[in-house]
Amino acid sequence: MQECQSMMCSRNKLFCVLRTALTVVSCMPTILPDEEVPVQQYANVMFDKNAPDATGSMDAQSIPKGFARRLKACAFTRTKYRFAGWSRTATGAVEYPDTASFSSGNANVTLYAQWVIAERTINGSSIYLPVNAYSRLGYEFAGWPLSAEGPIQYTNQAKFQFVDANVTLYAQWTFKTYNVGDRGTANGYIFYINPNYATDGWRYLEAAAWDANSSKWEDYIIYGGTATDIQQANKTSLGFGYSNTLAIFQQAVYANIARVRVVFQFSYSNNGFLFGDWFVPSYEELVRMYSTIRSLPGSGFSATQYWSSTQASQTQAYYINFNDGTTGAAAKNTSYRIRPVRRF
């Protein structure tokens, strides 16, 4: 063995030293060769100023693959323009505002600066304002005032006369009006317009575009058995589905409260907005749904019974048959469907 080691040392002293060292520390944890050691991999984000007259420079930003990091602050500038954000394409819409969070993939990415006009000087002449590109869910664009609370001075694409000073125009919004049968802000169906909205604080009742599920009233809305009496949930009128559901929720046995949340905390996302204000309709709200939106294309109602949130007695609750409109009260341990609604 020694003769073999001597021969090897004569050929390569370095190999001999390494072999000896490995023999001495053989009881220590094994160290993987370099090619087997896990190495954190990065993807580079490059920044393109995306305009020949823009100035400044930005180095690439390395982000670990599969991780999210905040983008560097934009260091580019452009005369008479302001930086709006970054897009993955040169002509695309803004996807990432300045210093937004960016999730890295497996490949390098180039982000292109997007610019909007910040200042225009045309020697006292006038232009037509561009088409409004802003939107606000549940509202309609009304025009442009010269202050946040001021009266509207310019309508969409109105003629604008330049003055000596810079001017900021503020978007003005009006609450969108809906008709029965329209799609609401949560993409459901409007089935009632409240004439007393100024005092009640809500104007529309909107039914979800699908059923929550089919289950027993006692299991789906309230736990406690068929003989659970919830006197505060006996309201039948329009506008009382919310208070009925709230009363049911508050009387739910804590260990089984998740069953109530299936409806009361039912949520739906529309255009990036999350709606979690659903409740079970009262008896008359359910009647109104049947008479106004049951037959609308896409409403998704089944030809079967639907529960209301209105208790008929200690052991029964009201329902409506969406096949023929018949109504009645049934034992709480009967399995019927539920269509969540909301108000806004």
| Mean pLDDT for the chain overall | 77
Q: Does residue 317 register a pLDDT over 50?
A: yes
Residue 101 has pLDDT above 80, yes or no: yes
Q: What pLDDT is stored for residue 262 in this prediction?
A: 45
Whole-number pLDDT of residue 66 = 75
| Mean pLDDT (whole number) for 164-179 | 86
- Whether the pLDDT of residue 336 is over 50: the answer is yes
Range of lowest pLDDT (158-172, 178-192, 207-221, 288-302): 207-221
Q: Work out the average pLDDT over 176-186.
A: 90
For residues 306-323, average pLDDT: 92
pLDDT grade, residue 214 (50/70/90)?
A: low
Q: How confident is the model at residue 122 (pLDDT cuts 50, 70, 90)?
A: low
pLDDT at 120: 55
pLDDT reading at 223 higher than 80: no
Q: Select the more confidently predicted residue: 326 or 267.
A: 326
pTM: 0.54
The pLDDT value given to residue 276: 64
- The residues spanned by each domain of the chain are 2-36, 42-117, 126-175, 189-343
pLDDT of residue 10: 43
Mapping DSSP onto H, E and C, the string for the chain reads: CHHHHHHHHHHCHHHHHHHHHHHHCCCCCCCCCHHHCCCCCEEEEEEECCCCCCECCCCCEEEECCCEEECCCCCCECCCEEEEEEECCCCCCCCECCCCEEECCCCCEEEEEEEEECCCCCCCCEEECCCCCCCCCCEEEEEEECCCCCCEEECCCCEEECCCCCCCCCCEEEECCCCCCCECCCCCEEEEECCCHHHHCCCEEEECCCCCEEEEHHHHCCCCCCCCCCHHHCCCCCCCHHHHHHHHHHHCCHHHHHHHHHHHCCCEEECCEEECCCECCCHHHHHHHHHHCCCCCCCCCCCCEEEEEEECCCCEEEEEECCCCCEEEEECCCEEEECCEEEC
Q: If you average pLDDT over residues 107-120, what whole number do you get?
A: 84
Mean pLDDT across the stretch 291-301? Answer: 91
Q: Which CATH class is domain 42-117?
A: mainly beta
| pLDDT of amino acid 261 | 46
Reported as a single tens digit per residue, the pLDDT across 15-44 is: 333 333 333 333 333 333 333 434 458 899
pLDDT greater at residue 11 or residue 72: 72
Can you tell me the mean pLDDT for 308-313?
91
Greatest mean pLDDT among 23-37, 43-57, 98-112, 161-175 lies in 43-57
What integer is the mean pLDDT of 184-193? 91
pLDDT band per the 50, 70, 90 thresholds, residue 67: confident
Lowest mean pLDDT among 116-125, 160-169, 230-239: 116-125
